[in-house]
Structure 1
Amino acid sequence: MKMKIKINSRFLTGLLWLVMMAACSTTKHLPEDELLYIGTPSPKIEGYNPEDEGEATLEEVQGALNVAPNNSFFGSPNLRIPFPLGLWVYNRFERYEKGIGKWIFKKLAADPIYVSTVNPETRTKVASNLLRENGFFQGNVTVKVDTAKNPKKAKLLYTIHTGQRYKLDSIYYVGFFGKADSLIHKTYQDRILKKEDAFSVNKLDEERNRLIELFRNNGYYYYRSDFITFLADTLIRPGYVNLKIVQKQNIPEDGLRKYYIGKTDINLIGYNGEQPEDSLNFHNFTIHYAGEKPGIRYGVLRRRFLYRSGETYSQVRQDYTQQALSRLGVFKFNDFKYTPRPGKDTLDISVNAMFDLPYDSELELNVTTKSTKQTGPGAKFNLSKKNFKRMGASLNLELSGSYEWQTSSTVDGESSVMNSYELGAALSLNFPRLILPWIRNRVDPFRFPSETNFKIYAEQLNRARYFKMLSFGGTVSYSFQPKRSIKHTVTPLHLAFNTLQNRTARFDSIANANPMLFHSLDDQFIPSLTYTVTYDNSYRKKKNQIWWENSLTSAGNVTSMIYAAFGQKFSTKDKKLLGTPFAQFLKYSSEVRFLHNISEKQQVAARLMGGVIWAYGNKTIAPYSEQFYVGGANSIRAFTVRSIGPGRFHPANNASYSYVDETGDIKLEANLEYRFRILSNFLGGNLNGATFLDAGNVWLMRKDEARPEAEFSLHNFFDSIAVGTGVGLRYDLSFLILRLDFGIALHVPYETGKSGYYNIPRFKDGMGIHFAIGYPF
Structure 2
Amino acid sequence: MKKYKIYHILTLLLAAMMAVSCSTTKHLPEGETLYLGLKKVTINNEDKSKAGQKALAEAEGAISIAPNNAIVVKPNIRFPIPFGLWIYNRFERYEKGFGKWIFKKLAAKPVYVSTVNPETRIKVASNLLHDYGYFDGKVTYRVDSTRNPRAVKLSYDIDMGNPYYIDTVTYEGFRPQTDSLIHAHFDEGLIHSGDNFDVTVLNQERQRLIDLFRDNGYYYARNEFITFLADTIMRKGYVKLKIVPRQSIPEEALRTYHIGHTSVYLTGYNGEQPDDSLKLRNFTIYYSGKKPGIRYGVLRKRFLYRKGEVYSQTRQNYTQEALARLGVFKFSEFQYTPRTGAEKDTLDVRVNAMFDLPYNSELELNVTTKSTKQTGPGAIFNLSRKNFRRMGASLNLELKGSYEWQTSSTVDGDKSVMNSYELGAALSLEFPRLVLPWVRDRIDPFRFPSQTNFKIYAEQVNRARYFKMLSFGGTVSYSFRPSRSMKHTVTPLHLAFNHLQHRTATFDSIAQANPMLFHSLDDQFIPSVTYTFTYDDSWRHRRMRIWWENSFSSAGNVTSLIYAAFGKSLKEREKKFLGTPFAQFLKFSSEIRPLYYINDKQQIAGRLMAGVIWAYGNKTIAPYNEQFYVGGANSIRAFTVRSIGPGRFHPAENAAYSYVDETGDIKLEANLEYRFRIFSNLFGGNLNGALFLDAGNVWLMRKDEARPDAQFTFNKFFDNIALGTGLGIRYDLSFLVLRLDWGVALHVPYETGISKYYNIPNFKDGMGIHFAIGYPF
Q: What's the TM-score, normalizing by structure 1?
A: 0.86
- Residue 289 of structure 1, CA deviation: 1.5
Q: Tell me, in whole angstroms, the C-alpha distance in 1 between the residues paired with 2:199 and 2:679.
A: 25
State whether residues 166 and 239 of structure 1, in contact with CA within 8 Å, keep that contact through their aligned partners in structure 2. yes
Aligned to 2:458: 458
Q: Which amino acid aligns with 2:397?
A: L
- Residue 618 of structure 1, CA deviation: 2.4
State whether residues 496 and 526 of structure 2, in contact with CA within 8 Å, keep that contact through their aligned partners in structure 1. yes
Instruction: Say which SS state the counterpart of residue 183 (structure 1) adopts.
Output: helix
Superposed, 1:365-404 pairs within 5 Å as 365-404=365-404
Aligned to 1:5: none
Instruction: Say which SS state the counterpart of residue 209 (structure 2) adopts.
Output: helix
State whether residues 275 and 286 of structure 2, in contact with CA within 8 Å, keep that contact through their aligned partners in structure 1. yes
Compared with structure 1, are the counterparts of its residues 740 and 291 closer, same or farther at alpha carbon in structure 2 (3 Å cutoff)? closer
Aligned to 1:14: none
Range that drifts further, 343-352 or 131-140: 131-140
Aligned to 1:528: 528
Mapped pair 1:348 → 2:351: no
Aligned to 1:244: 242
Q: Deviations over 1:300-345 (max 9, x none)?
A: 0111011111111111110010111111111111111111112422
- Residue 686 of structure 1, CA deviation: 8.0
Aligned to 1:310: 308
Aligned to 1:3: none
Aligned to 1:122: 120
State whether residues 39 and 77 of structure 1, in contact with CA within 8 Å, keep that contact through their aligned partners in structure 2. no
Q: Tell me, in whole angstroms, the C-alpha distance in 1 between the residues paired with 2:137 and 2:703.
A: 69
Q: Tell me, in whole angstroms, the C-alpha distance in 1 between the residues paired with 2:761 and 2:549.
A: 38
Aligned to 2:364: 364
Q: Tell me, in whole angstroms, the C-alpha distance in 2 between the residues paired with 1:759 and 1:270.
A: 64
Range that drifts further, 745-754 or 446-455: 745-754
Compared with structure 1, are the counterparts of its residues 533 and 415 closer, same or farther at alpha carbon in structure 2 (3 Å cutoff)? same
Compared with structure 1, are the counterparts of its residues 549 and 204 closer, same or farther at alpha carbon in structure 2 (3 Å cutoff)? same
Q: Tell me, in whole angstroms, the C-alpha distance in 1 between the residues paired with 2:56 and 2:459.
A: 56
- Residue 145 of structure 1, CA deviation: 4.3
Q: Tell me, in whole angstroms, the C-alpha distance in 2 between the residues paired with 1:352 and 1:410.
A: 68
Aligned to 1:40: 37
Q: Tell me, in whole angstroms, the C-alpha distance in 2 between the residues paired with 1:100 and 1:285.
A: 60
Q: Tell me, in whole angstroms, the C-alpha distance in 2 between the residues paired with 1:354 and 1:675.
A: 41
Q: Tell me, in whole angstroms, the C-alpha distance in 2 between the residues paired with 1:604 and 1:207.
A: 33
Q: Deviations over 1:413-444 (max 9, x none)?
A: 53223222222111111111111111111111
Compared with structure 1, are the counterparts of its residues 719 and 37 closer, same or farther at alpha carbon in structure 2 (3 Å cutoff)? closer
Q: Tell me, in whole angstroms, the C-alpha distance in 2 between the residues paired with 1:542 and 1:106.
A: 33
Aligned to 1:163: 160
Range that drifts further, 605-614 or 104-113: 104-113
2:291 to 256, 275, 293: 293
Q: Tell me, in whole angstroms, the C-alpha distance in 2 between the residues paired with 1:262 and 1:288.
A: 17
Q: Deviations over 1:675-715 (max 9, x none)?
A: 57677968688887776654433222222111112223344
Q: Deviations over 1:598-634 (max 9, x none)?
A: 8888876654432222222322211100011223344
Q: Which amino acid aligns with 2:37?
A: T
- Residue 388 of structure 1, CA deviation: 0.8
Q: Tell me, in whole angstroms, the C-alpha distance in 1 between the residues paired with 2:362 and 2:198.
A: 46
**Matched residue count:** 753
Superposed, 1:177-188 pairs within 5 Å as 177-188=175-186
Range that drifts further, 46-55 or 460-469: 46-55
Q: Tell me, in whole angstroms, the C-alpha distance in 1 between the residues paired with 2:338 and 2:511.
A: 77
Q: Tell me, in whole angstroms, the C-alpha distance in 1 between the residues paired with 2:572 and 2:235.
A: 79
Q: Tell me, in whole angstroms, the C-alpha distance in 1 between the residues paired with 2:656 and 2:605.
A: 41
Compared with structure 1, are the counterparts of its residues 69 and 599 closer, same or farther at alpha carbon in structure 2 (3 Å cutoff)? closer
Q: What's the TM-score, normalizing by structure 2?
A: 0.86
Range that drifts further, 53-62 or 166-175: 53-62
Aligned to 1:441: 441
Aligned to 1:265: 263
Range that drifts further, 168-177 or 276-285: 168-177
Instruction: Say which SS state the counterpart of residue 483 (structure 1) adopts.
Output: coil
- Residue 764 of structure 1, CA deviation: 5.1
Instruction: Say which SS state the counterpart of residue 511 (structure 1) adopts.
Output: helix
Q: Deviations over 1:511-562 (max 9, x none)?
A: 2221111111112222222121223344445666544332222222222222
State whether residues 67 and 77 of structure 1, in contact with CA within 8 Å, keep that contact through their aligned partners in structure 2. no
Q: Tell me, in whole angstroms, the C-alpha distance in 2 between the residues paired with 1:761 and 1:111.
A: 48
Compared with structure 1, are the counterparts of its residues 670 and 28 closer, same or farther at alpha carbon in structure 2 (3 Å cutoff)? closer
Q: Deviations over 1:165-224 (max 9, x none)?
A: 635423333333333333333334433344555444333322222221111111111111
Aligned to 2:151: 154
Range that drifts further, 756-765 or 511-520: 756-765
Superposed, 1:472-511 pairs within 5 Å as 472-511=472-511
Q: Deviations over 1:34-81 (max 9, x none)?
A: 134243234423316261446665565555446666788899995564
Aligned to 1:49: 46
Q: Which amino acid aligns with 1:178?
A: P
Q: Which amino acid aligns with 2:304?
A: L
Q: Tell me, in whole angstroms, the C-alpha distance in 2 between the residues paired with 1:569 and 1:392.
A: 47
Instruction: Say which SS state the counterpart of residue 180 (structure 1) adopts.
Output: helix
Q: Tell me, in whole angstroms, the C-alpha distance in 2 between the residues paired with 1:570 and 1:99.
A: 79
Mapped pair 1:132 → 2:130: yes
Q: Tell me, in whole angstroms, the C-alpha distance in 1 between the residues paired with 2:369 and 2:39.
A: 45
Compared with structure 1, are the counterparts of its residues 310 and 503 closer, same or farther at alpha carbon in structure 2 (3 Å cutoff)? same
Q: Which amino acid aligns with 1:646?
A: P
Q: Which amino acid aligns with 2:616?
A: Y
State whether residues 375 and 407 of structure 1, in contact with CA within 8 Å, keep that contact through their aligned partners in structure 2. no
Aligned to 1:567: 567
Instruction: Say which SS state the counterpart of residue 421 (structure 1) adopts.
Output: strand
Instruction: Say which SS state the counterpart of residue 289 (structure 2) adopts.
Output: coil
Mapped pair 1:619 → 2:629: no
Range that drifts further, 232-241 or 342-351: 232-241
Range that drifts further, 138-147 or 594-603: 594-603
Compared with structure 1, are the counterparts of its residues 692 and 121 closer, same or farther at alpha carbon in structure 2 (3 Å cutoff)? same
State whether residues 261 and 346 of structure 1, in contact with CA within 8 Å, keep that contact through their aligned partners in structure 2. yes
Aligned to 1:227: 225
Instruction: Say which SS state the counterpart of residue 437 (structure 1) adopts.
Output: coil
1:256 to 254, 263, 273: 254
Task: Give the share of equivalent positions with the same residue, in percent.
Answer: 69
Q: Which amino acid aligns with 1:337?
A: Q
Q: Tell me, in whole angstroms, the C-alpha distance in 2 between the residues paired with 1:543 and 1:119.
A: 28
Range that drifts further, 210-219 or 439-448: 210-219
Mapped pair 1:190 → 2:188: yes
Q: Which amino acid aligns with 1:342?
A: T
- Residue 133 of structure 1, CA deviation: 3.2
Compared with structure 1, are the counterparts of its residues 318 and 29 closer, same or farther at alpha carbon in structure 2 (3 Å cutoff)? closer
Q: Which runs of 5+ in 1 are unaligned?
A: 1-17
Aligned to 1:214: 212
Q: Tell me, in whole angstroms, the C-alpha distance in 2 between the residues paired with 1:22 and 1:590.
A: 52
Aligned-residue RMSD, C-alpha: 3.9
- Residue 297 of structure 1, CA deviation: 0.7
Aligned to 2:554: 554
Compared with structure 1, are the counterparts of its residues 244 and 412 closer, same or farther at alpha carbon in structure 2 (3 Å cutoff)? farther
